[in-house]
Amino acid sequence: MHEGAPASPLDPLIEAYLGDLSSQRRASAHTLTSYRRELRKLAELAGAVPPDSITSAQIRRFAARLHGDGLSPRSVARALSAWRGFFRWRVRHHGATDNPAESVRPPRAPRTLPKNLSPDAMVALLDAPADDPLEVRDHAMFELLYSAGLRLAELLSLDVDRGVDVAAGEVTVTGKRGKTRIVPIGRAALVALDAWLAVRGGFAPAHEKALFVTRGGTRPSQAAVRSRLDRWARMHGDGTHVHPHMLRHSFASHVLQSSGDLRAVQEMLGHASIRSTQVYTHLDFQHLAKVYDAAHPRARKRGKD
């Protein structure tokens, strides 16, 4: 509450609630400070409105006011969480009939677009030569991640005798929720995979089933692959930090840019919902917008006269 603002009917209840959190629930000093800050916002927004008269519609307007004043969706959600706890306490211990904040949800946070590499940057990254057998393995892993849009866990689950059908140019993986899908493999990935299979025997013992193995002949960890990709990108990339999921994002964006077939991209990515795939239409639009800005005569910015 701002200095000099009139007292709110909520003030004594807020202090009682915080006292209960401290004594009964052993809340930390940090938690109490945070809750006090969020509940002061509620008191200021409610003004002279009695606690029992605060409605869900008012709580919704209070949340909208916070958002309109510049608070992020995450900050509004934090405030609503504190308010829900306060009103829940009143229902349980002070005879309140309902919790007006219970059904109020914060504004949806804007969905961040996944980062991806341009087709030219991807070609430069994957066309770099492999200088030793482990780099041959790395190259095959990175080509397969990009060529088939695999998740890292899906890549590392592949066995030498199951999953990859070189003759058919396909890979079969089991993704989230046990969903199995078959995805085509491009020519470059097949060539890289053949190169790895030619040297794999120098690392993998006869009983090892993993398609990709470490220097010690075991299945690599996800952290190890991330480290190797970061190393490869620093050696052969343009300075952009590259992680395995970025190769999957790049696959989706590039296939969508070329085909425009959102359903096909959904199937190849193994998304249960088309909504998960639609984020790549925004990436596609960004690409088209850049082309438009560069090429359309009415989009070009005029220089100074």
Query: Would you state the CATH architecture of domain 119-295?
Result: Orthogonal Bundle (1.10)
Q: Does 151 qualify as catalytic in the annotation?
A: yes
Cβ neighbourhood burial of 130 (10 Å; 0-12, 13-18, 19+)? middle
* Candidate list 151, 200, 228, 249, residue with the active-site label: 151
Q: Is 176 an active-site residue?
A: yes
Higher-confidence residue: 263 or 4? 263
Residues 163, 185 contacting (CB under 8 angstroms): no
Q: Which among 176, 209, 231, 234 is annotated as catalytic?
A: 176
- 242: CB partners within 8 A, 6+ apart: 117, 125, 229, 230, 232, 233
Whether 139 is catalytic is no
pLDDT in tens, 202-261: 999 999 999 999 999 999 999 999 999 999 999 988 778 899 989 988 888 888 777 777
Rounded CA-CA distance 159/25 in Å is 51
How many angstroms separate the CA atoms of 258 and 262, rounded?
11
Q: Active-site residue 248, yes or no? A: yes
Helix axes 73-93, 11-23, angle to 10 degrees: 90
Query: Does the annotation count 292 as an active-site position?
Result: no
When pLDDT is cut at 50, 70 and 90, the band that residue 179 belongs to is confident
CATH 1.10.150 assigned to domain 11-93? The reply is yes
**Region of 218 on the Ramachandran plot (φ > 0 left; ψ -120 to 50 alpha; else beta):** beta
Q: Has 209 been annotated as catalytic?
A: no
Q: Which of 41, 248, 249, 254 is catalytic?
A: 248
What average pLDDT does range 5-24 have in this prediction? 87
Same fold, 11-93 and 119-295: no
Residue boundaries of the structural domains of the chain: 11-93, 119-295
193 φψ region: left (φ > 0), alpha (ψ -120 to 50), beta (else): alpha
Helix-then-strand count for the chain, H and E: 12, 3
Pick from 2-6, 95-99, 112-116: least confident: 2-6
pTM, rounded to two decimals = 0.57
Q: How many other β-carbons are positioned within 10 Å of the β-carbon of residue 219? A: 17
